[in-house]
Structure 1
Amino acid sequence: MTGQHPTTEIDTSKPHPARMYDWYLGGKDNYPVDEAMGRQMLALDPRVPVMARVNRAFMHRATRWLAGQGIRQFLDVGTGIPTEPNLHQVAQETVPDARVVYCDNDPIVLAHAAALLRGTPEGETEYLQADVRDPDAVLEGARKILDFDRPVALSLIALLHFVPDEDGAHDLVRRLLDALPSGSHLVMSHATADFTPEESRAATDRLRAAGVTLALRSREEFTRFFTGLDLVAPGVEVPHRWHPELGEPVPGQEDGVIPGYGAVARKP
């Protein structure tokens, strides 16, 4: 780890999305408050753990596809708690000299950051303690590792549905992309209420009561994030239908549509 990171106290008084995600994936880096809220979400829709695994599998496939296209630099914002294989492991399996910068604002991710830095001898990985709502800080830290004169894959996996429009979600994405050169890519996945409106409304209300904002966006709203970019085929899709041939299917994903969208697009 090349940088110095601030020590931040972990708040265990309310659930945190990254720790809930860890619980859905069967991890142990979560607290009773996260499990309690996770079980409430499970009662509303028992597919939630499958959604988490499908989302993770989408990230693997998108990273594998990008590495196969020759992309050698990755900026992963909203990293979450490390779960192998991590993005750098997938990328460096194809491109051993890939450079990867992880970024998250959750101190529990910082506590496990060493697991994110075990890459290939040829490659380089770094972890930044920063928030997507402060894109200047994200870019400043990333520039120390990544060459912004060469294409970068910006990965925003299961992140923007925690940033409402009133917090400038679209502007944040645009500011990050504006700093990247032509040939860079945007990788995004996002939850939606398009397929399960009643369950999604109930989940949003429960999370809001616990202090977690959830901004579920429609297909049209999600697609707006890619304005001015060239979508990679098949375009905006439910995550498990985006290039399924690039990975193993997730058990349970065949039981109906997973309520989310995923897409990859190239900056002209």
Structure 2
Amino acid sequence: ILFCRFFFCRCREPLPKCMSVDELWRAKQLYDSAFHPDTGDKMNIIGRMSAQVPMNMLITGGMMAFYKSTPAVIFWQWLNQSFNALVNYTNRSGDASLSDKQLLTSYVFATGGAVATALGLNKALKNGPPLIGRLVPFAAVAAANCVNIPFMRAQELRDGTPIYDQNDNRLGNSKAAAQSGIKQVICSRIAMATPGMVLTPFVMNHLERRGTLCRYPWATLPIQVALLGVCLTFATPLACAVFKQKAEIRFSDLEPELKEKLEKKLGKDIPYILFFNKGL
């Protein structure tokens, strides 16, 4: 409530004596993490970025522990892409909405692409080194991100995403900004997954060669989940920091029709740099 009063209503009332500036900023952080920056809607708790570490620890751990069995590959890839689809929709850019048909199409393509990639690589590398086999889930996840994110945010590619000047004045919708934002999100998601899904196979392969996993087979899943948890704890905020949610785009990089429209509207006051929410 206090955050809304001070930041949205722009009330000039002083802070209550019982609340410090640090507590107000803490309230702002909580609000920003729970509500969509463009629509203002409260986001699904599992789809928030704060759920990335615990959810990915469990799902990715399962994908990497049970990568040899075909039914297990299908199940874990389906579960992972179901989670990713929810995250991608929850953290979409702008106020675009998808129809049930678009959501279903996006979900089927993304899940099918991930499962097909994982099964195809498993079959092709069946007689390859164990370490290569352990890296198959990472390849499937990277490939699926390239499919899942654009499909779940296809509306932005068609209609564009809102762009703003430095004073947060909305100037229109840009397809070029949407394309840039989606590319950045794909790179960000792959960057989040890379440390855990690449480092963990090397550690597990080393433990397997030493015979540790043969003596303690029950430890395979807990060890992988713990390693992934450590990697994701650092990789997730780092990837979000490198690929900032409030992205920038130069006026010269906008599509011609939008540039022409803004030139007529703003004249000589056209900003060199514009801003947009790329999503997470």
Greater share of strand: 1
- TM-score category of the 2 structures, normalised to the smaller one: under 0.3
TM-score under structure 2 length normalisation: 0.25
